[in-house]
Amino acid sequence: MKIPVLFPNIFDYPFTYECEISKNLKSGDFVKAPFGSKEITGVVWPQEQITEKKFKIKKISKKIDVKNLSSSMIEFISWFSKYNLVPLGMSLKMCLLNKDVVEKNFNEEFIKFKIKKNKNNFLLNDEQKKSLSFVRGKGNNYNVTVIQGVTGSGKTLVYFKRIKDLVDKGYQALILLPEIALTNQFSRRFEEFFGASPAIWHSGTTKKNKTIIWKGVTEGKIKIVIGARSSLFLPFKNLGIIIVDEEHDASYKQDEGISYNARDMAITRASLENIPINLVTSIPSVETYNNIVNKKYCVTNLNKRYNQFSLPKIEIINLQTASLNKGNWIANKTIEKVSKYLDSGDQILFFLNRRGYAPFVVCKKCGYKFKCPNCDVNLNYHKKLNKLLCHHCGHKSLLIKNCKQSNKKCDLLFCGPGVERIFLELKKIYPKKNIEIFSSDTLKKGSIGEFLKKIEKKKIDILIGTQLLSKGFHFPKLNCIVVVDADFSSHGYDLRSAEKNVQLYHQLSGRAGREKNESTIFFQTYTPDDETLLNISKNDPMAFLEKELSLRKEKKLPPFYRLISLIISGKNEMLIMKFATNIKSKLPKIDEVNILGPVFAPIPRLRKKYRCRILIRYPKNLFIQKYLSESLNKIKILSGIKLEVDVDPINFS
């Protein structure tokens, strides 16, 4: 009997084997089979690869005694492969552990994940009850429901209750979060509600814990998983609901390796599993908002904070007129305002989305700029390390160079502020206050939980943070936020810059005033009339989304059209452009499909490789991947050149 077997590798099709195993094999069963000189794990696939070639058929070694992949999971793997133009075997690989499965049992380890009856009485307010009733009313079959609510309105409690409904009926649940950092504080809330440790799945999860979770999920013994993007590929035994928290977050898009948007893939998986999916947000993405407008998605709104606390007031400090002391970045007016909050015992957050001390360094005499030798970007100076650092490739170098004019050391000018520079400035202003930086550079692995507890217990008076701090955290005493540099200028290559800024600063303002009525977010800016800033200050995100939709429609941009980016990279600048031009000539010519480029990327060279792009724009109703796949498969990739495909790109740098 001939059996098609798909292996977790680069191939886009299953291989044919013979089966002499006494048990009948069916689609989704895991098997061991010889492949080359090794014996590896594969999955019995429903479709056989048709070929006219004659070859000797090998025999399957054995069936592996683990739960098989369901037909809906097989369908999801196949669809993911076709949509994202990823080899079928690589799509399968994402569902396994290091190309393998887990046969060992972990019954004792599963005990801590067992959901208990909660001892705490979590009471919902009227708005939450109404939202929960709405979500329940949509039933247990496929539907997309958006839970939209202002920050601090208690959206999490609504979907926790909905998950509890389904878990009590024997189903499993997946909660997707955009950032690993969010899982610490979120885990505590989870334990309080469900009375069990959460099964957390992300890149920082240990191999042992991943092994336990993978096995528990396949057997249905672990009911709820909290995870980052990759958790979407876990082969659940009886998945009943998917939650995508902060659905608007750009972190759901994976750019490196296999490119995909986890939010969009989650919606597809829910559709194939025929289960509900809840998208949770304070301001929906433009794509989600468009689907709400078109009644493709349902929506329930939470318009007030949980305990009726008001949202922060917004105040703009015009740096064109406000006085700044020489060498300082915080206006005197800002310091006056902040001091009042500090005197009241409140915490302060200074927000600046720039790591390090200064974004670039130049010599005052010879004009030399310190640039990365591997990338076409400036090096950032990190004072704590006393080194220059590239935030793209990680290159480090010392701050030493002889000046071209004087043959002495360069007379250095540190341009612009980073979080370290603001930290030193604040230390001079408030020498007796506890001041800390919250960024990916300063937080050591495994220390986030302790750091968050210090903030909650008010052992820190002033926080200086990057974008990492804007998402999902609850700090009871934080009632004043200062945006050090409210610069909304787009770099021209980010189609979603205005949308991202509105969402970022709305999320950021939501960190303040969660347990007190009087709170303020101050925007220091040289452009007080900037349209994005005015949109934020009006606190009317729906008006912004409507206008943005209209603009996108006029410009034939997503969500009205789709985009696919082909990225060609290599060490030879001329060769990659020549190769890209050749690719363009071989792409299918289809009505209403625009092929733009090739052009060099806005950052032409990264990690010693030049990069150029071809952008394909096409109508939503056209599944162009089928034609594109056929064309790309015929192209022979030259040595030293890499071709990547990014479907629905977000990052164009």
**Are 614 and 598 in contact, with CB atoms under 8 Å apart?**
yes
Higher pLDDT, 515 or 191: 191
The pLDDT tens digits for 329-384 are 999 999 999 999 999 999 999 999 899 999 999 988 888 899 999 999 999 999 99
Distance CA(263)–CA(269), nearest Å, equals 10
Identity of residue 270: A
| Cis peptide bond prior to 541, omega within 30° of 0 | no
Paired with 256 in beta bridges are none
- Going by pLDDT thresholds of 50, 70 and 90, the confidence category of residue 472 is low
Site of tokens 């701050």: 399
Distance CA(238)–CA(573), nearest Å, equals 51
The residues, ordered by sequence, that sit 6+ positions from 322 with a Cβ below 8 Å of its Cβ are 331, 332, 333, 334, 524
Strand-by-strand arrangement of the 38-44 sheet: 15-18, 2-6, 38-44, 30-35, 62-63
Distance CA(470)–CA(474), nearest Å, equals 10
Inter-axis angle of helices 155-168 and 126-137, nearest 10? 40
Question: What is the rounded average pLDDT of the residues 297-326?
Answer: 88
**pLDDT reported for residue 374:** 97
Identity of residue 196: A
Question: What is the rounded average pLDDT of the residues 608-612?
Answer: 96
Burial class (CB in 10 A: 0-12, 13-18, 19+), 515: middle
Please spell the DSSP secondary structure of 108-148, one letter per residue.
HHHGGG-----SS-----HHHHHHHHHHHHT-SSSEEEEEE
**pLDDT reported for residue 501:** 86
Please spell the DSSP secondary structure of 54-93, one letter per residue.
--PPPB--EE--SPPPPHHHHHHHHHHHHHHT--HHHHHH
**pLDDT reported for residue 120:** 65
Higher pLDDT, 638 or 233: 233
Token pair recorded at residue 454: 């210090």
**pLDDT reported for residue 377:** 94
| pLDDT of residue 510 exceeding 80 | no
Residues in the chain: 653
**pLDDT reported for residue 118:** 66
Question: How far, in Å, are 159, 169, 197, 277 from residue 162 at the CA level?
Answer: 5, 11, 18, 11
Distance CA(12)–CA(90), nearest Å, equals 8
**pLDDT reported for residue 489:** 63
Identify which of 291, 250, 264, 266 has the alpha carbon closest to the alpha carbon of residue 146.
291
- Going by pLDDT thresholds of 50, 70 and 90, the confidence category of residue 505 is confident
- Going by pLDDT thresholds of 50, 70 and 90, the confidence category of residue 119 is low
Which residues of 466-621 form beta strands (DSSP E)? 478-483, 520-525, 561-570, 594-606, 609-619
**pLDDT reported for residue 565:** 96
Fold of 561-647: Alpha-Beta Plaits (3.30.70)
Instruction: Look at residue 151 and give its three-state secondary structure.
Output: coil
Instruction: Look at residue 514 and give its three-state secondary structure.
Output: coil
Question: What is the rounded average pLDDT of the residues 77-97?
Answer: 97
Token pair recorded at residue 388: 């220059």
Distance CA(2)–CA(21), nearest Å, equals 12
The pLDDT tens digits for 545-584 are 999 999 999 999 999 999 999 999 999 999 999 999 999 9
* Termini Cα distance of the chain: 51
Identity of residue 153: S
**pLDDT reported for residue 1:** 76
For the four alpha carbons of 440, 444, 447 and 453, in that order, the dihedral sign comes to negative
For the four alpha carbons of 450, 452, 458 and 464, in that order, the dihedral sign comes to positive
| pLDDT of residue 473 exceeding 80 | no
Higher pLDDT, 605 or 486: 605
Residues carrying CATH 3.40.50.300, the chain: 107-302, 313-354+417-549
| Cis peptide bond prior to 598, omega within 30° of 0 | yes
* 107-302 classified as CATH 3.40.50.300: yes
**Are 251 and 472 in contact, with CB atoms under 8 Å apart?**
no
User: How many Cα atoms occupy the beta-carbon half-sphere of 456 within 13 Å?
Assistant: 11
**pLDDT reported for residue 448:** 76
Identity of residue 341: Y
- Among residues of the chain, what percentage have pLDDT more than 90? 68
**Are 391 and 355 in contact, with CB atoms under 8 Å apart?**
yes
Fold of 313-354+417-549: Rossmann fold (3.40.50)
The pLDDT tens digits for 127-158 are 999 999 999 999 999 999 999 998 888 999 99
Helix H segments across 220-314? 262-273, 286-293
The pLDDT tens digits for 519-528 are 899 999 999 9
The pLDDT tens digits for 158-175 are 999 999 999 999 999 999
Distance CA(499)–CA(608), nearest Å, equals 32
CATH of domain 2-93: 3.40.1440.60
The residues, ordered by sequence, that sit 6+ positions from 612 with a Cβ below 8 Å of its Cβ are 567, 568, 569, 576, 577, 580, 597, 598, 599, 600, 601, 604
For the four alpha carbons of 523, 501, 438 and 151, in that order, the dihedral sign comes to positive
**Are 101 and 64 in contact, with CB atoms under 8 Å apart?**
yes
How many C-beta atoms surround the C-beta of residue 13 within 10 A? 16
Question: What is the rounded average pLDDT of the residues 448-473?
Answer: 83
**pLDDT reported for residue 438:** 86
**Are 556 and 617 in contact, with CB atoms under 8 Å apart?**
yes
Question: What is the rounded average pLDDT of the residues 625-639?
Answer: 92
